[in-house]
Every structure is written in C-alpha cells, then in structure tokens.
Structure 1
Amino acid sequence: MARRSAEEFLHFEHAPTKPLLNLAAREIQEREQFVLLDEQQVAVEVVMQAVERARAAATRTVVVVLGGPGSGKSVIALSLLGELARKGRRVHHATGSSAFTNTMRKIAGRRNRRVQTLFKYFNDYMESEPRELDVLICDEAHRIRETSVKRYTPRQLREKAGRQIDELINVASVPVFLLDENQTVRPGEMGSLAEITAAADALRCRLEVVRLAGQFRCGGSDAFDTWVARLLGLDRLPPVPWSKLGDDFVVASAASPDALDAWLRQRMDSHGGTGRLSAGYCWRWSDPESTPDGRRLVDDVVIGGWRRPWNAKPGQRVPDAPESYYWASDERGFGQVGCIYTAQGFEYDWSGVIFGPDLVRRDGRWIARREYSHDPAAKKADDLEFGRLVRNTYKVLLTRGMQGTCLYSTDPETQAFLEEMAG
C-alpha cells in the first residue's frame, strides 16, 4: 500500500500559486526541482543514513534540523518526503498547522485522495503502534504541544494519553524534527531542542542535530532576517536602519493603511508575484454576517476610515473568499487581512505588515500590551511569556515576504521608529 501510494504521489497534477508549493509539487513528481545547499544536503543524508541503520540493525535515531526563516526547513522536509515515498518507505509529513497540512493535501491529492494520507497532524498518533513508520517528518516542530488531547478527544484516549513528543518519536524508526525556536506563538507550544533531546534520551534513541545557516528562498534575504531579529530585540545586537544592512530585498514603511495597500498593489502590478497583508491579532474576529446577497466577511480590522476583514474563519465558507487554510495560496486572499495562524508556514512575494497596539516602542524598548490583544490563546500566558509570543508573532509575519516587506504601526511612536529603521 505504501509503494502504491508513493507511485500515485509521483503523477498528480497541480495548480498552486505559492512558489514553494509549486516547487514542492514538481519536486515530488520530477525529483530535481530543489538544488539543496551544503547544510541542507547534509540534513537529507543524515536522515537517509539513519533509515538504512534502522533497517540493518533496528536502531532508532532522532534527527533535529534547526534553522531560521527561509533556511530551507520545509524544502528539506518535502525533498525527504518525495525521495522516501519514491523508495517505498513508510513515511508521513506532519505539522501542527491546519493551513499548511490542508494546502498540501489539496495540492498533492488533487487527483487521488489516498495521497492525502501522507500529510498528517501532530495529534494523529495517539493510537499508533511503535515504529509503524520508517520516517515521520515533523515540519514546524516548534508547534509541538504537551499533549495530543483535544476538546473532542474521547475519554478512553484522554485517560491513557501521554506526551505528544513521545508519541511522535515512538511511531517511527527515524523521527525528524525541523524547527525554529523563535516561531513559537501560542502558549503550550513546547517544541525545542532541549525538549526533543530530553525525550530522545529518555526513550534511548540516538540523537543527531543539523544546524542550518543562511537562507533558501525563491528570493528572500538573509540580511533581512537578521534585521528583523535585531528590530524586535530577538538578537543581542541593537536595531539598525535597513540601509546599513540592506541588499536587493525591498524594505519600506507606509504612512497609513491606505498607503500600505497601495504599496502592495504597485509592487504586484510593476513586478508581478503575490502580495498579502497581515496584522497582529489586535481586532476581534467576527463570524460572517448574513446579508440579502448571502454571507460576507465582516470588516473587523478598522483603522480610522480604513476597513478590511480578517481572512475567513476555519470551517466557515464565504462566497468569493478562500477557506482560511488557503488564504496565502489562493489569489482571492488578497482582499483580507491574514492573522498569524493563516500566515505561519507560508511565503508570498510582497508582504505588508500592520503592527497593532499590542506591541509598541517606548523609551527605546518594546512593550507588549495584553489589554490590546484579541488572541484568546496568547492572553492566557503570563506577562513574560506573552511578550515573547507577541514578538515571535511579528517576527513570523515580517519574514513571509520573498521580495519585499512594508511596515505600518497604528501607534505614532512605534510608527516613527519603524520609519527610521526602514530607511
């Protein structure tokens, strides 16, 4: 069955709009779309060697791949998935992201739904037997949670549920974890090198760690990723104007939301590519409203006279708007504001980011303000963790653009700082 699914996987047709997904689909079909950099190739070889050891000597190896935005973690994951599937290995790709998993199921399983079973969630392995798989590829492993128990988990499973990290390790001979420890954006997300190392040691698994440096995007900028880390205080070095670090990547600030909209449209019109607008979770997120013409999204994001809706809520379909999972990859997503949970894990050419009042600049430092957050999950965190989660949120939003990013803040003092840093 695994070999049959793999063969089916190699012959699907696809029409994604997102460059990474375009490349991923062709990679799995044609095998040669990704030219891996040295460290990325090392990561793939480490996994393939671990698979051979497991088959020859029944050893178990946990592989951790660490890298920042654009370092090629998802490229490695999808390269591994294609190669292992072609070899007939029992392999799954798993994430904690509904948007990413649903998008990959849609692309890879467009012609044959059985292919969709290769794409899973972290909480799908509560009832799995040990070593059911040869390899489990855990993409965005920073989103691993303490337990796989959900709201609707049956009582009998709740009573015997263990730690999610242990389930993910136990289900495969070679579990692979790809993570960026600065992308944790919700309380309870606990994927980290320390947690994985401790779990691997407790389960008596060999551990191998590969660290990625630099960036691998269809565009993108290593200098910009460094600039963002310094801008948000996630680096020990202080913020610095983009002009002192800059390369061909475009960084700009906008004086208003209308100007931000105009910047995105101008860039798409003159340079092509996809553009998306995202924002911190500082406005309520309403259910669609009913009108005589049908259901429509509510313009929840209001800044002065400027109004836009959030992307659609999960499971709530609205005419002329993509489902929440496909906001980043469907061209109809341009008219809505994306939140962290639909933007994370995706890339687009041109990115506009609105800083809301939950993170402001005061006296040369960032202040996180819980009272302005509408994120029900993040608001449960204590003050220290809330500040970390909010800064990580803006780090993720800022690093989605592959060719350029434009920034705007609703707070005047923060806006002045962003204008200075974008110069």
Structure 2
Amino acid sequence: MGIDLAAHLIRAGYRIGPQERRAWDNSLPALAEHLVRVGLGDLDALVEYQLPRSDSRIDVILAGIHPTTARESYLVVELKQWSAARRLDDVEKLVTVPMMRDPQLHPGVQVEAYCTYLADFLAVVWDWPEAVHGVAYLHNAVSASVADLIDPGRSRQALIYTTDRVARFDAYLAGRFSTRGTGDAADRLLGSGIRPSRQLLAHAADDLRGRRHFVLLDAQRTAYELVMRAVRRAQQGRRKQVVIISGGPGSGKSAIALTLLADLAHAGRIVAHASGSKAFTGSLRRYARTDPREPLRRTKPLFNFFRDFMTDERDSIDVLICDEAHRIRTRSNRGSVVGEVPQVEELIAVAKVPVFLLDDHQVVRPNEVGRVEMIKEAAGRMHVDVEIVTLDAQFRCGGSPGYERWVEHLLGLADGKPYPWDGDDRFRLGVVGSPERMEELLRQRQADGETARISAGFCWEWTHQPVNGRLANDVRIGSWAKPWNAYGNRPPRGIPSSSYWATDPAGFGQVGCIYTAQGFEYDWSGVIMGPDLVVRNGRLVSQPGESKDPEIIGRPGRRKPENADLLIRNTYKVLLTRGLRGCLIHSVDEETQAFLKRLVPAPVDRLGNAQDGVYRVGGRATAEREAKASVRYQTETAGRE
C-alpha cells in the first residue's frame, strides 16, 4: 500500500520521505484490523485526503452510512505511532513526544480542526455537520503513557484511543457505521462543492470587523462602492462584471480588499480572498485571527492562493477578491496537475464578481503575467464587462507621491531622467555609507518601538538549511554579514518564518528579499542595492549575471527570462517603496553609490520625526503640512497596499 500511495502523492506534487512510508506500513494495517473485526472491512477509506484549498492532508477519512440515522457518516482518523506523550507544561494544546525535538500539536486538537475545516468548506455536510466525527488512534501507546492527552470531556471531533482500549474503539466504530453498505458517501464527499459555509462567514465577519481599522478615502471608497454595486447587480441576475483596482505601492489596495472581505462576509455573501504570495497570504491569515493562539484558525481558509480554484465550479463564489493580482501566473499548477485554461480565466469564471487589485510595476518573476490589459483581454474573451478604478492616493512613503515618482525616474520606469531629491517633510530619504551605519540608524528606530527592516537585491547565495541551529550569514559586504530571512516555515528558534519576516519584530535580524518584502510595509526601510543594478556612464543598467535569483538567472532545464532587466528594476521599485516614514539606501557599487549621493546630497545623521532634526534638502515644513502628516499617521495609514 505504501508504494501505491507514494506514487500517487508524488504525481500530485508531494515529497514523500522514508518516515512517511514507514508510517503507512505500520499505521494503516493497525486501523484495518479494527475495521475487519467489527465487520467493516468493505468500508470506504479515503487515505491521505487533501483538505480543499490546502496543502494539509488527513491520514484517513472513513465514509459510510450511520446505522441508526441511515445518513452519511464520516470519521476523520489521525494515526500516530507515538508510544508516549505528555502535555507541554500547562499548555494543553501542545505536547512533547520522546525522540521528537519540537513540540507537537495535541492530536485531539489536530483532529478537531480537520473536522471543523470540512464542515466549514464542504457543502455536502453543511446541513448535517454532525455527520463528521474525529478520532486520534495512538496504536503504539497505552492509556497510562499518554494520560495527559486523554480528556473524557472532549468533543465528538477530538476523541483519543490507544492500544489498550481496543474494545472501546471497536464499539465506537460499530456505532458509527452500518455493516449493510456504504452507499455513495465517499463519492458525495469527493464530489462536494467547495465554498465557505454561512457559519464560517459569520465567524470570519466577527473576527475581521473587530480587527479592521481602515478608513477608505476618495478613490478607495469609489472602488469599494463599484464592487458592492456589481454584487447587487449579480444578485439581480444581471450581466457579470469584473472590477479592476489599479494603484501603486501604498495606494490602499489591501485596505479595500480587507474591508470588502469583512463587509461581504457580514452580509452573508460567499466570499474568498486570494493572492499569489505565500508570505502575504500567511500574514493575512494571522492578522484575521482574533486570538493568535486559537488552534482551529477558522478564518484561515478564506485566504487562498490563485491556484486553489482550478477545479471549482463556475460562479460558485459570490465575490473573489484577487489581491496582489500582478502575481497571477500563466497557468495554475499543483504538482503535476496543470490548469487547462489561463489562470486569470479560472479566477474570472469561479466568481459572480471577480475583483482584481494590482500594480503593473510590481511584476518581479518571469512567470507572473498579471497586468490591467491582460485581465481586460481575458474578460473580453469571456464576454464579461469590466470596470476599472485607478488609485492615485499615497498612504505609504509618508503620503508622498513625489517620492514614488522620484523612484520611478531613478529606476528608468518613467519617461525622463533621474533627478535630485528635493526633499519632502513627510518622508525621509538618505544615502548611507555602509550597511553598518544603516543597521545602526534603523536599530535605533526599532528600539523606540517603530518598525524597521533591511532588504536587499537578490545578489548573494542563499543557504536554505540552518547550520548548527543558526542561519548562515550569506549577505556579506566587507566586514558586515547578515543572514537572509529564514527559508520556509520551520526556522531556528527565535527566528520568524519567511511568511512573517516583515511583521515579526525578530525579523530585523535578517535581510529580507523581494519575495518576503513584497506586499508589506514598515516604518523605516533600509535597501541594499547589489551589483545587479548599477550606474554606468550616468545611467542605471541591469546586470542579470550578478543576480543569484533562480527566477532571473534561470533554473536547470529552463530558459532565462527575456525581461530580466524589467524584473530587476521592478524588484528595486518594490523594495524602495516599503517604508512609511523613510528609506535609507546603500549601494555596494562605488560608482552607483557616488551617483546616489549626488541625487540625495543631504547627509543622514539620525532618523525620527521632523522636529528631531533629520537632515534633508528643502525648506522647513509649514504648520499646515506638519498637521496633515500628523493626521495621516494618526489614522494608521488608513489605506495600505
């Protein structure tokens, strides 16, 4: 069985290790013995069932008919080979297991979360959530060795059985399933529609509305109202409409997205959020939870990836909010499964009102194709009307539209040559002589309770695995050395995972790359320009050969991207526009550093508010301008990307 399972999962895109193969060989026969003993040998078993819109897999779902109600009956089974376990101190949701280094989630809590997820997202059980029960079977343990884990008061979705409770487990199985047949319970589960239940949306609405602090202004509010108008028209059965919301960094796109998500969920609409960024989606999932320790994380499934809608039914969602839509790919893919139509067409098809929020200048990977014109063309092919809103406001970079224009001219993304920065009292800009000085200045702001991060062009090798429990200091400039942000979601202790580098205070100790900085903001930004973009003869030129980014230099068996120059320039556009209050720049190239100093001649001795004496070029701020800046910060940058 292990060989067949492994082959199937590898085809689906999973990596299967020897430990997982051993688990199948040991655990599945143990469960099968119970089923055969109570006359359920023919019961349908869905092994390694993948949760909808998730990479998580359930060990086994047993599917059949309840012996009393004659309705569908499903049992989620989590199989553990543990021989012993105990609670981690007084934290009842985590346990320690001999021979396992890291704390593990309590198996009862794990199973309960799986059951809740199924009831939240599978339409087949919406009207009968009692159909889903769950157990954890610790087939190598006895009750005494896991006594801390067994709670007689646990719900029907979090029961635990051990090897010395064989008779009880047999009786439980016999009480859950009829021996007279399984009906089509398994087929109904596999063929069920996938969309959030009303109960989940009500729960999410409470969480999101309690967390939301955004105020939509001007074009933001116009965009919001256009989406709501399209929703009303869809409810009336009128022609389908795509809404495209375009804006630069910090123009308030994600503020609109989260406000729409909260309000539509509160109104009972079937709504989902999607993006193409793991870090961005992970942070939104964390943001939406009222209690960050809450193990069920019920709002998590509302935040999806673009690829998650490959097989969903047409118009099965009222509103799909596609945030960071510049990250739309050519085709969706999950493992070896590739979408049959362009990804943008999948996204338009699945929702009655598809909403796309994007910035054409934030495409930083060769397989990203999301642009306003591309979405318009796709909608035209599908005979769908389009509404477009352009956001001109600026809520990042101190609310300074002049700074964004300066960056675009610096990088050659706008018509016209680079020009000197003439100062803006709402935003602090400086060129520093070394990364040490950059770190010193930003650390001061971090220590004072503000947020600061250092990011860099992808010009240094990246050691993915920790060495002796520490991240490798890959980014080296002279005597200064720092690690990249952690790779993946299992970093060393005290280091945030890649998804939370921009939002966890401990992220200051690592250098962020484009893929962890994009979509986020912090008060103070430090940007290290690498040798992939340098000044030669008075203008910036890209040097793709200096990049270490596999997306730029090409992966084995793949062609190098033809638009590497634009991708590098867009990368620095993103990095240079993450700061809310200010940005420090340092280039490792001498000619480039000298060029930047000529454009930004004011030295930076310290960072802070205007009255702190930050050096800048330009006149003093008037009382009126200072008052406007203060209002912006007091509204907590009401609109954010």
User: Structures share a fold, TM > 0.5?
Assistant: yes
2:460 paired with 1:289: no
**Do the aligned residues in 2 keep the contact of 1:221 with 1:402 (CA within 8 Å)?**
no
Residues 98-143 of structure 1, C-alpha deviations (whole Å, 9 max, x = no match):
0011111122244342211110000001110001101100011110
- Structure 1 residues 236, 222: closer, same or farther in 2, change over 3 A? same
2:425 paired with 1:247: yes
**Superposition pairs of residues 23-38 of structure 1, within 5 angstroms:** 28-29=209-210, 33-38=213-218
2:319 paired with 1:135: yes
Q: CA RMSD in A?
A: 1.7
Specify the SS of the correspondent of 1:40. Answer: helix
TM-score using structure 2 length: 0.60
2:375 paired with 1:201: no
**Do the aligned residues in 2 keep the contact of 1:346 with 1:400 (CA within 8 Å)?**
yes
The letter for the 1-side match of 2:261 is: L
Unaligned runs of 5+ in 1: 13-24
What is the CA–CA distance in structure 1 between the aligned matches of 2:496 and 2:366, rounded to whole Å?
28
Q: Structure 1 stretches (4+) deviating beyond 4 angstroms? A: 381-384
Q: 2:368 aligns with which of 186, 189, 195?
A: 189
2:546 paired with 1:403: no
Alpha-carbon shift at residue 194 of structure 1 (Å) = 1.3
Specify the SS of the correspondent of 1:197. Answer: helix
Specify the SS of the correspondent of 1:145. Answer: coil
- Structure 1 residues 367, 30: closer, same or farther in 2, change over 3 A? closer
Residues 75-94 of structure 1, C-alpha deviations (whole Å, 9 max, x = no match):
11111111111101111110
What is the CA–CA distance in structure 2 between the aligned matches of 1:374 and 1:315, rounded to whole Å?
22
**Structure with the greater alpha carbon radius of gyration:** 2
2:190 paired with 1:9: no
What is the CA–CA distance in structure 2 between the aligned matches of 1:300 and 1:273, rounded to whole Å?
26
Map of 1:216 onto structure 2 = 395
2:487 paired with 1:313: yes
The letter for the 2-side match of 1:87 is: A
2:510 paired with 1:336: yes
2:597 paired with 1:419: yes
The letter for the 2-side match of 1:359 is: L
The letter for the 2-side match of 1:364 is: G
Map of 1:372 onto structure 2 = 546
Specify the SS of the correspondent of 1:302. Answer: strand
The letter for the 1-side match of 2:464 is: D
Map of 2:563 onto structure 1 = 385
The letter for the 2-side match of 1:63 is: V
Map of 1:278 onto structure 2 = 455
What is the CA–CA distance in structure 1 between the aligned matches of 2:588 and 2:576, rounded to whole Å?
16
What is the CA–CA distance in structure 1 between the aligned matches of 2:562 and 2:311, rounded to whole Å?
36
**Do the aligned residues in 2 keep the contact of 1:352 with 1:406 (CA within 8 Å)?**
yes
Specify the SS of the correspondent of 1:113. Answer: coil
Specify the SS of the correspondent of 1:204. Answer: coil
The letter for the 2-side match of 1:2 is: S
Alpha-carbon shift at residue 421 of structure 1 (Å) = 1.8
2:432 paired with 1:266: no
Residues 319-340 of structure 1, C-alpha deviations (whole Å, 9 max, x = no match):
1100110000001100000000
**Do the aligned residues in 2 keep the contact of 1:2 with 1:89 (CA within 8 Å)?**
no
What is the CA–CA distance in structure 1 between the aligned matches of 2:542 and 2:396, rounded to whole Å?
31
Specify the SS of the correspondent of 2:550. Answer: coil
What is the CA–CA distance in structure 2 between the aligned matches of 1:79 and 1:218, rounded to whole Å?
22
What is the CA–CA distance in structure 2 between the aligned matches of 1:420 and 1:135, rounded to whole Å?
49
Q: 1:43 aligns with which of 223, 237, 240?
A: 223
**Do the aligned residues in 1 keep the contact of 2:250 with 2:397 (CA within 8 Å)?**
no
Unaligned runs of 5+ in 2: 1-195, 602-641
Specify the SS of the correspondent of 1:209. Answer: strand
**Do the aligned residues in 1 keep the contact of 2:517 with 2:575 (CA within 8 Å)?**
yes
What is the CA–CA distance in structure 1 between the aligned matches of 2:231 and 2:220, rounded to whole Å?
17
Specify the SS of the correspondent of 1:224. Answer: helix
Alpha-carbon shift at residue 245 of structure 1 (Å) = 4.8
What is the CA–CA distance in structure 2 between the aligned matches of 1:127 and 1:120, rounded to whole Å?
14
What is the CA–CA distance in structure 2 between the aligned matches of 1:142 and 1:344, rounded to whole Å?
11
Alpha-carbon shift at residue 49 of structure 1 (Å) = 0.4
2:179 paired with 1:179: no
Comparing both chains, which one has the higher relative contact order based on Cα–Cα distances under 8 Å and sequence gaps of 6 or more? 1
The letter for the 1-side match of 2:275 is: T
What is the CA–CA distance in structure 2 between the aligned matches of 1:174 and 1:141, rounded to whole Å?
15
What is the CA–CA distance in structure 2 between the aligned matches of 1:290 and 1:210, rounded to whole Å?
48
Aligned residue pairs, count: 398
Map of 1:120 onto structure 2 = 304
**Do the aligned residues in 2 keep the contact of 1:220 with 1:401 (CA within 8 Å)?**
no
